[in-house]
Copies of this chain bind each other. A is one copy, B any other.
């Protein structure tokens, strides 16, 4: 039995309800009532309790409370993104945070690095900590491992990439449509010789963008088999090298589509290096900071990560509040922003 003795000098221990109760001269339950704003406490008693709590700098322990409490909420949420050090993910994160704080919920954020193993570990870590809900960007090919958790009623919403093997909500960009739009934009300027620079083929979004781009070309009668499709470019350096090879080849493209942020940066570098940035059209997927200050300005298909994050978070809270509607797949459209590089006409025709 703890003695609840006088204050130990030095490292003051964390006060509990019992300390407050003793100081205020009431029972623990009364402190609990005051702390939780429950009714049926005499104003004078409440004041004494509050004074004692303040004097001790008492902070209720939500973990202890939750153990016995009926709803058992931790007021915590797990967010898994590609990497917290990534502008797209940062915008998603911020939107999620803004919705979460409104609900008094704190956000655990983890980076995925597009590694299936990290995905499993991060999700396990979230679940161990009993988060109330999960917002996930995935790297694995199948998320059936979430089944038991879903059956327990934990809300899970996928963001940016769609789930496989589980029935639950997803909020994604219109990758197919956005890439098709980029193709049409270039076709409208009269281009016939294209190149496609793609991200990891293992990523669903990358495959959707590729399909969208190529199908649009196909519809326009471009012989798609002849279009160089370079994939698995995951960083600027790989992308730069790939485009340099194409530019130095026998039949360089007059129009380039880069399917992602980092790939776009690499493509830009390659074009500069060969002095082709003013006569080769370029459209990138994802908007980039300073895109308007380049010469020419960079034309992009912009995603709306804030919307993805906000909507995903709202879905989680809706489910937490008992919304039992069937799983939805919410598609957020993209926006083509013309700034110059995508409006360059074909050269050498």
Give A164-195 as 1s and 0s: 1 = Cβ < 8 Å from B's Cβ atoms.
00000000000000000000000000000000
Known: A90-B90, A290-B265, A290-B294. A152 touches B12 (CB 8 A): yes
Residues of chain B within 8 A (CB-CB) of A45 are: none
**Minimal Cβ-Cβ distance residue in B for A89:** B90
Shortest C-beta distance, A168 to chain B (Å), equals: 15
**Minimal Cβ-Cβ distance residue in B for A147:** B57
Stretch in A122-130, A205-213, A226-234, A252-260 with 4+ CB within 8 Å of B: A122-130
Alpha-carbon gap, A101 to B164, bound state (A): 27
Partner of A290 from the list B12, B153, B290 (CB cut-off 8 Å) is B290
Alpha-carbon gap, A148 to B265, bound state (A): 49
Give A101-134 as 1s and 0s: 1 = Cβ < 8 Å from B's Cβ atoms.
1001011111100000000000001111110000
Say yes or no for A14: interface residue by CB 8 A criterion.
yes
> Count of A residues near B, CB < 8 Å?
57
Partner of A293 from the list B107, B126, B129, B269 (CB cut-off 8 Å) is B269
Say yes or no for A66: interface residue by CB 8 A criterion.
yes
Partner of A288 from the list B61, B84, B290 (CB cut-off 8 Å) is B290
How many identical subunits does the complex contain? 2
Shortest C-beta distance, A55 to chain B (Å), equals: 11
Residues of chain B within 8 A (CB-CB) of A268 are: 290, 293
Known: A152-B13, A293-B269. A91 touches B85 (CB 8 A): yes
24 example contacts (A-B, Cβ-Cβ < 8 A) are as follows A11-B152, A12-B151, A57-B148, A59-B128, A61-B130, A63-B66, A63-B67, A76-B129, A84-B109, A85-B87, A85-B91, A87-B87, A87-B289, A89-B90, A90-B90, A94-B111, A106-B108, A106-B126, A106-B129, A107-B110, A109-B109, A265-B289, A288-B290, A290-B291
Chain A residues close to B by CB (< 8 Å): 11-14, 57, 59-64, 66-67, 74, 76, 83-87, 89-91, 93-94, 97, 101, 104, 106-111, 125-130, 148-149, 151-153, 265, 268-269, 272, 288-295
Which 9 pairs of residues, A with B, have the shortest CB-CB distance?
A85-B94, A63-B63, A57-B148, A85-B90, A84-B93, A290-B290, A90-B90, A106-B108, A109-B109
